[in-house]
Amino acid sequence: MFHTTFARALYLVIFLASDLLALYGYDSGSVYAYYQLVYFAFFVLPLILMARWGLAFAKLPATDDPFIIVATVVLSGFLVLGVNNNVVSSRLFPNNASVTKQDTAAPQQPAQVVFGRIMRRSPQPLTLLNYGSIDMGFYTAAGAVPNTYYFQNYNIPEQDAPQILRGQRATIRHRKVEWVVLNTPAKKTLRTWTGDPYHKGQITGGNLNPGTRVIAQSLTKNYRLVARHTQSFESVNVTYRLYQRRAR
């Protein structure tokens, strides 16, 4: 692909610039592994080149060798499963941490699925607000199309974009949605969760919102608790709560 010095230099410059932007995205106390995915796009070509050199050096036989095929499959499986633990959050492990924190005899489902089923049974128009955190699949599981501009929060401090949480609190105060989903640490209540003191006004590990104490009064006045579910996310035990608008 790169037959000129200019093309090689351009490739290298783009690679280094992307690395610097990925590093710039980090902040103190927060390391997001998926930022490193930008590197892999540039690792592909060197890997192909090394594979060509390796195959030429190995001088593999022209016919298919069952041992080589089986060894490649085993090695590939080991490399995938050895560096990725997503499989333990799959249906192969019914009561894994992504579903629930508690050990149970019967398989359970995630809060997104449980809450979605409850919301779809209601005869009221399906409107939903996931307060203080990113989507986490609640809108998708419920089949709800957001009807408010600030339908989710983002991983930035509240002081840098106060209109997001301000708008969400107004949505709850003015009863603009039928359902509200929010989370707290497993051992916290609606009135005791004030957010991470070291990251005030910001989403923190486990996708925890910046605090629910500030909305506790207006939420309990306008909405009633319907369901709760505790599960683990990013190694944090999180309790999700589902509220429904009270009848006037």
Indicate whether 199 pLDDT > 90: no
Beta strand segments in the chain, E: 128-130, 179-185, 223-233, 236-245
Determine contact, residues 155/164, Cβ cutoff 8 Å: no
DSSP character at residue 146 = P
pLDDT for residue 48: 86
Tokens 């929060």, residue located? 153
Place of tokens 């995915």: 37
Task: Collapse the DSSP code of 92 into the 3-class scheme (helix H, G, I; strand E, B; otherwise coil) and give the result.
Answer: coil
Q: Which residue has better confidence, 137 or 35?
A: 137
Beta strand 179-185 with 128-130 is parallel
As a whole number, the mean pLDDT across the chain is 87
Tracing tokens 């790169």 back to the chain, one arrives at 2
| Structure confidence at residue 176 (pLDDT) | 95
Residue scoring higher pLDDT (116 or 92): 116
Phi, psi angles (nearest 5°) of residue 224:
-115, 145
Q: What is the pTM of this model?
A: 0.73
- Weakest-pLDDT range from 57-66, 184-193, 207-216: 57-66
Both structure tokens of 53: 């050199």
